[in-house]
Structure 1
Amino acid sequence: MADPKPRLEPLPQVGEAARFLAANPDIEIVELLLPDTNGVFRGKWVPVGHLEGLFRDGLALAKSVFALDAWGGDVVATGLYHETGDRDGICRPVPGSLRRVPWTARPTAQVMLRMDDEDGSPFFADPRTVLASAVDRLAARGFRPVVAFELEFYLFDDTRPSEVRRGGAPLPVIEGLGPDRTNIYSVSDLRAYGDLFAEIEQAAQAFDVPTDTIISEAAPGQFEINLVHVGDPFAAADQALLLRRIIRQVARRRGLRASFMAKPFADRAGNGMHAHVSLVDGDGRNVFGQRPDGETLLRRAVAGLLDTMHAATLMLVSSYNGFRRLNGAYSPSKALWAENNRYVAVRLPRGSGPARRLEHRVAGADANPQLVLAAILAGIERGLAADLPLPAPVDGDVKAVATEPLPPSMRHALERFERSDWVAEAFGARWRDFYAEIKRQELAGFESYVSPLEYETYL
């Protein structure tokens, strides 16, 4: 296990719960939300009378909550079950996350949790702890990340009868126009679901999730919601997790299904999770926007990201399905960079001074934002720490650039990840092996499944 990390976030205060209860005396139940390794919320419902005790003493919960695969099954090979007696850790509220839930008929609150080990140190398997290790390294260099996520998703109509579904695939709420069935940046498509997006924005405000622009994306029924840049990387990851929850819940209320599946259709655009990142110094100045040294630091950061991208792919593309997305037009399959080019893995958008930043475009929308950001920040720190070679920026079509592609499948990504000394150094060998076991079990599950196409072809 890596050395214990300092706690960068404040401890929860009982006064926060008391103030909330005074302002919301009708609350009856509280949802406790702990993001697992795959970014799925686990936890409990507790009566409101337990809330102040939660803030004071924490909540005992099995450490193995992080050792679950994509189906919620136990990954026994992680060593958190029989070998330890499936011991409890102590979950504590994330300060500022206690909020009223706007979509329930019963008066309900929710609060996000993180887990400590029995000795009070952050538990190694909590993705929040993994993110903290990367944030700590940048803090030691005097830098704090400023981050904004962009999330793409599809809206599907769950009210349509199953017999109209094509080959088991869901039907988007909008069928699109023309032979390519696209209508990108369509304002009319946004207007068609304007009430839904208004409700999403209202719920996001209730949870202090600052949404920015909303656009109609490259496939019918596909949309993107952007988040505002924030100077707290933990908050940025939490906001992305909460935004997915908000979109799903609001869509469900309207008979729709919102999906962040990375590649629902082989012939249509996939769903990505883009991260915009800059670094500020102790005075709050964007160091990438300070000339001339800022451009040097920015390019070193890019070099670090490219150097670590193959090893980190399993953190960025964490689902079996996600690797299908990496061959799409706007889904980079090579570790390349450029100025103002949406086909590369690391893009430098137009902007100068305080707006100077990088955009990381590899992650799937179904990945855990905490682990995605951990991989990105650790890659940036790697570039700042070492004088790494930086290839020339792409000028033109990325297909013409001869370079090793990113791992094309979960198996290839797993092999690169678990033999990476950089991953072990950045996040601890214990966590590297732990995460690899989860993905190995998921891989075995998918590879052992006999698909309908095989029956159709060989039966």
Structure 2
Amino acid sequence: MEKHPDIEAVEFLLVDPNGIIRGKWAPGDALKKAFQDGVNFPMSLHGLDVWGREVTETGLHIETGDKDGYCRATRGSLSIVPWAKRKTAQVLLQTFTPEGEPYMADPRQVLKKRVAEANAKGFFPVVAFELEFYLLDPEIDWDDGMPGPVGAVAGPDRLRMYGMDDLAEHAELFDMIRDAADEQSLPIDTIIKEAAPGQFEVNLKHRGDPLRAADDVIMLRRIVIGCARAHGLQATFMAKPFLEYAGNGMHVHASILGTDGKNIFAGPNGRKTLESAVAGLLLTMPESLLLFINTWNGFRRITPGSYAPTRAVWAENNRSVALRIPVSNDSNRRVEHRIAGADANPYLVMAALIQGMVEGIEGGLTPPPPVEGNAYDEDGLSLPDDMDDALQLAAKSSFVDRALGPLLAKVYRDLKRAEIMAFWSEITPLERSTYL
């Protein structure tokens, strides 16, 4: 604040269980209150569906009197908004009750608790996220008014995976993204042209703070969308915006340090510990899938041959599986979780990953043998292929209660049930064109 005394406005940002940023604009002098006392928001904000509507089944709305909580600024998240016309700052908030206790329907507060519990047991996760997204051109009318991906052409598509020309064509945009990330202390690593026209991937560096790593995902998505808009484009992290092209994933690389600061997956006993963590993740994967694939659209991404896994299986150096052990030296041994959609809530994804790995290690679990070759052709624990089946498993899951805590687990199920009912109540144009 001393560095930028001319701040005119501030954007207060809060992440709901759907992973959607909500909040409000305020004058710049409201920043001090956010750090000292907190900004008032209704706690029922965490009971809104993806369309921003109240879901009464959550029990967070008028039946409680729709109480306000205190939303305090998260230290380290205050930064300048580079695309704003006025001198504007932004800061990420987290929710507390009127009594000052962490509000456990807030996904960030839930992950904070999971991390603290893991640390108390001597487990210190080190994680990195990778996010895929599409750049869309509003001048391209792709389908029913939806913008098309940049670089899409008539005739055979130029997928141009790892293409350098595609990066160069949007160099000014990616420079702006890197500059904004530097300003906000987001550790961007590589930027890659991905497997479809207009599709790219941004990788973040590993962090020893899973909570901050999840914050990075929220802010990176905001940076990409804001910078794309500033360049006359639209960015989307929608899991499957185009049926004919690859979906957008959120891959998570995770290892765990012990109290000595060394990777517990390394050394003479490291392999067995890694396999126990993998076993914990595999065992809990079907019932927690709704945390990784959190939208109706996201289940369209999970198809054979798509590099999005359909079975709870693992392997070494194999991108067709749900859990991949990447090529690395002994000290960097880790697991890559490849299931989540790019639009998933990173706090919930991380909470489930930490809980699953810790339970697998503490239980000394043993995974099934790793698969060889194409995992889509292998036997293995099948994952739910639609949102309702995933909800049914999550509804019966004690693991989801342990990962999210009882309050957020209930709220999340209620929100997803309402989302499913909204899609079930819609008659599609295809149905009308077929049966009228």
The answer to whether the 8 Å contact 2:137/2:148 transfers is yes
Q: In the alignment, which residue of structure 1 is the partner of 2:407?
A: 430
Q: In the alignment, which residue of structure 2 is the partner of 1:16?
A: none
Q: Deviations over 1:345-380 (max 9, x none)?
A: 010001123311110000000111111111111111
Q: In the alignment, which residue of structure 2 is the partner of 1:174?
A: 151
Which letter does structure 1 place at the counterpart of 2:16?
Answer: D
- Match of residue 69, structure 1, among 46, 49, 66: 49
Tell me how far 1:176 sits from its aligned partner. Answer: 6.0
Which letter does structure 2 place at the counterpart of 1:47?
Answer: P
Which letter does structure 1 place at the counterpart of 2:109?
Answer: T
Mapped pair 1:263 → 2:255: no
- Match of residue 318, structure 1, among 279, 291, 294: 294
CA distance in structure 1 between the partners assigned to 2:81 and 2:405 by the alignment: 37
- Give the structure-2-normalised TM-score: 0.97
Q: Deviations over 1:94-124 (max 9, x none)?
A: 0111111111120111111001122222101
Q: In the alignment, which residue of structure 1 is the partner of 2:396?
A: 419
Q: In the alignment, which residue of structure 1 is the partner of 2:68?
A: 88
The answer to whether the 8 Å contact 1:177/1:183 transfers is no
Which letter does structure 1 place at the counterpart of 2:132?
Answer: E
Tell me how far 1:430 sits from its aligned partner. Answer: 2.8
Tell me how far 1:426 sits from its aligned partner. Answer: 3.2
Tell me how far 1:167 sits from its aligned partner. Answer: 4.0
Mapped pair 1:225 → 2:205: no
- Match of residue 242, structure 1, among 214, 219, 241: 219
- Give the structure-1-normalised TM-score: 0.92
Tell me how far 1:169 sits from its aligned partner. Answer: 4.0
Secondary structure at the residue paired with 1:255? coil
Q: In the alignment, which residue of structure 1 is the partner of 2:365?
A: 388
Q: In the alignment, which residue of structure 1 is the partner of 2:26?
A: 46
Q: In the alignment, which residue of structure 1 is the partner of 2:130?
A: 150
The answer to whether the 8 Å contact 2:313/2:381 transfers is no
CA distance in structure 1 between the partners assigned to 2:103 and 2:192 by the alignment: 38
Secondary structure at the residue paired with 1:332? coil
CA distance in structure 2 between the partners assigned to 1:305 and 1:179 by the alignment: 40
CA distance in structure 2 between the partners assigned to 1:355 and 1:202 by the alignment: 28
- Match of residue 285, structure 1, among 258, 262, 282: 262
The answer to whether the 8 Å contact 2:311/2:376 transfers is no
Identity percentage over the alignment? 49
Secondary structure at the residue paired with 1:209? coil
The answer for unaligned runs of 5 or more in structure 1 is: 1-19
Stretch moving more, 279-288 or 342-351: 279-288
- Match of residue 105, structure 2, among 122, 125, 128: 125
CA distance in structure 2 between the partners assigned to 1:323 and 1:435 by the alignment: 17
The answer to whether the 8 Å contact 1:176/1:183 transfers is no
- Match of residue 111, structure 1, among 82, 87, 91: 91
Secondary structure at the residue paired with 1:157? strand
Q: In the alignment, which residue of structure 2 is the partner of 1:357?
A: 334
The size of the alignment, in residue pairs, is 435
Secondary structure at the residue paired with 1:34? strand
CA distance in structure 1 between the partners assigned to 2:334 and 2:196 by the alignment: 27
The answer for unaligned runs of 5 or more in structure 2 is: none
- Match of residue 278, structure 2, among 302, 311, 320: 302
CA distance in structure 1 between the partners assigned to 2:85 and 2:132 by the alignment: 29
Alignment of 1:12-27 (within 5 A): 20=1, 22-27=2-7
Mapped pair 1:209 → 2:186: yes
Stretch moving more, 218-227 or 119-128: 119-128
Report runs of 4+ in structure 1 exceeding 6 Å deviation: none
Tell me how far 1:49 sits from its aligned partner. Answer: 1.8
Which letter does structure 1 place at the counterpart of 2:298?
Answer: G
CA distance in structure 2 between the partners assigned to 1:442 and 1:118 by the alignment: 29
The answer to whether the 8 Å contact 1:159/1:255 transfers is no
CA distance in structure 1 between the partners assigned to 2:109 and 2:279 by the alignment: 25
Tell me how far 1:429 sits from its aligned partner. Answer: 2.7
Distance 1:400 1:31, change over 3 A: same
Q: Deviations over 1:110-146 (max 9, x none)?
A: 1110011222221010001221232133212211111
The answer to whether the 8 Å contact 2:192/2:200 transfers is yes
